[in-house]
Structure 1
């Protein structure tokens, strides 16, 4: 006979820790000493459906968290992308959320151009990027090298978006949700003026999915691993099916 599957004792919730990126707004980050973010809200909601587990969510610097996961020192971490070749000791949950890289342009540019093809329709424009990030893809990089596009880098989303609203740049490339979240924060901070230009999304670029990653090491230390993974995946699939995840994202953007 094969080994019996592990089952939690009915009256005793199993205690475990899940680690989370402490500096990845708006997805997973610490604010006023509390772990928050879109992934955090989704994971918390999912865990509410698993009363047999008592889970502590622990913020951690990302590189340290990944190292802990790969060494078996952490049971789980969110939100890694799917990188099976790079992280051989990591197993992935059901995808939790899709992060979409997008281009947003201000109203002056949108009124004057047809922006259907990236990056050809954007030649001659000033494109904002977060300093240190090269995320427009190879055709974009080639166009920059050829002088067909100008890159204007600034520190962070807020600085880039304020420049875009003032017409100091024409478009901005970043994660869609990060842009939408920061626009709401700019509004609430009273930083928009009557002269601020409206913004529109004009192109979708690459996309990545975020997961809950599990270590495949130390099976004796985590005997509940397969049971937890199966149940967590079932809950996430149901939350996607019934619209809970979309609702959580929308609510987070407006809070």
Structure 2
């Protein structure tokens, strides 16, 4: 009888384990510090937040895999994958994904030498007339008003490939300010400080240029994913709780400190 009881308990336990639904979520493999591959493993801020959420979803066995961004968009459009992160909300451009609750706010900001912001410059771009602004080569920044000032020669722009090189130019005083995503700047400054190339205080954040929100985009056509609605409900409940408690903010701060 004891053996039968043990066998029954083992079978029951196995059934509970087997009841978990396997889910694969894909993330952009080249979007540091938010989502990228390092040493063969997905990492980044969005990855860390989602891993924590999925740990709190006992009915699902969720794996995070990497994908080149354009491939991920193509495959979720073709209903080949269930979810992709971190798209911005583009319902007209990308109706094949659903955007219900943002994970994070992403800010495009301008940072400057400390001396440049000795007088506050909260208004973009008018407060930055007469300055030289750095940007990553190939990136479009600033908006229509900025482009008009650039065309008139009232603002100058210098382009350099990559965030670290731009920040080193800013630290060295070879330009007045630099524009990019706020967390990307903070993350790179952290690396430069660790390498002894930044003093930790001479770069100051100025105006916010624009903002976006990153989501876990879930496929609109759920016919291949019968678990979609229950997964979404649980995911959004936990994400909402983590945002309200400050847990998401803590993950972000721990990552960039």
Provide the rounded CA distance (Å) in 1 between the counterparts of 2:101 and 2:16. 26
Aligned to 1:17: 24
Aligned to 1:36: 43
Q: Does 1:252 align with 2:255?
A: yes
SS at match of 2:116: helix
User: TM-score under structure 1 normalisation?
Assistant: 0.91
Q: How does 1:45-194 map to 2 (within 5 A)?
A: 45-111=52-118, 113-192=119-198
Does the 8 Å contact 2:222/2:228 carry over to 1?
A: no
Provide the rounded CA distance (Å) in 1 between the counterparts of 2:122 and 2:90. 31
Aligned length, in residue pairs? 242
Q: Between Structure 1 and Structure 2, whose CA radius of gyration is higher?
A: 2
Q: Does 1:230 align with 2:233?
A: yes
SS at match of 2:42: strand
SS at match of 2:65: strand
Provide the rounded CA distance (Å) in 1 between the counterparts of 2:130 and 2:221. 52
CA RMSD of aligned residues (A): 1.4
Provide the rounded CA distance (Å) in 2 between the counterparts of 1:46 and 1:164. 38
Q: 1:238 to 1:197 in 2, by over 3 A?
A: closer
User: TM-score under structure 2 normalisation?
Assistant: 0.91
| Unmatched 5+ stretches in structure 2 | 1-14
SS at match of 1:109: coil
Q: CA deviation at 1:218?
A: 4.8
Q: Does 1:202 align with 2:206?
A: yes
Aligned to 1:4: none
Alignment partner of 2:220 out of 195, 216, 220: 216
**Which digits, 9 at most, give the CA deviation of each residue in 1:220-248, with x for residues without a partner?**
x2000000011100011000000000000
SS at match of 2:33: coil
Does the 8 Å contact 1:21/1:78 carry over to 2?
A: yes
**Following TM superposition, where does structure 1 have runs of at least 4 consecutive aligned residues deviating by more than 4 angstroms?**
none
Q: CA deviation at 1:145?
A: 0.8
Does the 8 Å contact 2:54/2:62 carry over to 1?
A: yes
Provide the rounded CA distance (Å) in 1 between the counterparts of 2:38 and 2:196. 20
**Which stretch shifts more, 115-124 or 171-180?**
115-124
Provide the rounded CA distance (Å) in 2 between the counterparts of 1:174 and 1:223. 40
Aligned to 2:5: none
Q: CA deviation at 1:217?
A: 2.2
